[in-house]
Amino acid sequence: MPKILAFAGSGRKNSYNFSIAKCAAEGANVDGVEVTVIDMSEFDMPIFNEDLEAEKGMPVNAKKFKQLLMSHDGFIIGNPEYNSGYSALIKNAIDWASRMEDGEKPLQAFKGKYAAIIAASPGGLGGIRGLVPLRMLLGNIGMHVLPNQLAVSGVAKLVDENHNVVDEKTQKNLHGIGRSLAETLLQAAK
């Protein structure tokens, strides 16, 4: 059964990108697909450094995150825009997960897998500019990134404090992105 992992590039308690990733994950929850949502605050890891890696190996949380990526076929990524790019958290987690350990193939956690990328920001552009470099990065590490994406502007008014998207149109659009990813995976599995 195809498996989807949804997460945000933010460990912030009230992360809007977590809220939209969770909403898209609801849309991906169709028959024949397994969907898991994770909170990146539970995967706190140091900034990647080759000296640290050589001395201490991969940190436990980086290993856990990589194992999750390895065991899933598609990812829903809520990407916070910082200064028009992706978040440091997401880049750092990808850098750790890209490191090869015994018996693994290069970029095994990513290669040939599928991603749906979305963003949310209280600002007027919704983080759309950060999706451009994220799409490029994921493509460069061998992923198929769905052409449809969504940037949710003015997000503070569209979600509640329990990470629910309360605006009907936004919810419908996010569910649509999640469903597209699920359908793509079902098609690819045939």
The binding site for ligand FNR (CB under 6 A) comprises 8, 10, 12, 15-17, 80-84, 121-123, 125, 127
CA 27 – CA 130 distance, rounded (Å): 23
Contact 77, 46 (CB under 8 A): no
* Closer of 67 and 84 to ligand FNR (Cβ): 84
CA 140 – CA 136 distance, rounded (Å): 6
- Please state the closest distance from residue 106 (CB atom) to ligand FNR, in A: 30
Strand partners for 116: 76
- Please state the closest distance from residue 98 (CB atom) to ligand FNR, in A: 23
- Please state the closest distance from residue 143 (CB atom) to ligand FNR, in A: 21
Contact 140, 86 (CB under 8 A): no
* Closer of 82 and 184 to ligand FNR (Cβ): 82
CA 108 – CA 98 distance, rounded (Å): 8
CA atoms within 13 A on the CB side of 175: 13
- Please state the closest distance from residue 14 (CB atom) to ligand FNR, in A: 7
* Closer of 7 and 48 to ligand FNR (Cβ): 7
CA 121 – CA 135 distance, rounded (Å): 18
- Please state the closest distance from residue 63 (CB atom) to ligand FNR, in A: 24
* Closer of 2 and 126 to ligand FNR (Cβ): 126
Contact 4, 75 (CB under 8 A): yes
* Closer of 100 and 125 to ligand FNR (Cβ): 125
- Please state the closest distance from residue 44 (CB atom) to ligand FNR, in A: 15
Cα dihedral sign, 33-39-42-45:
positive
* Closer of 121 and 180 to ligand FNR (Cβ): 121
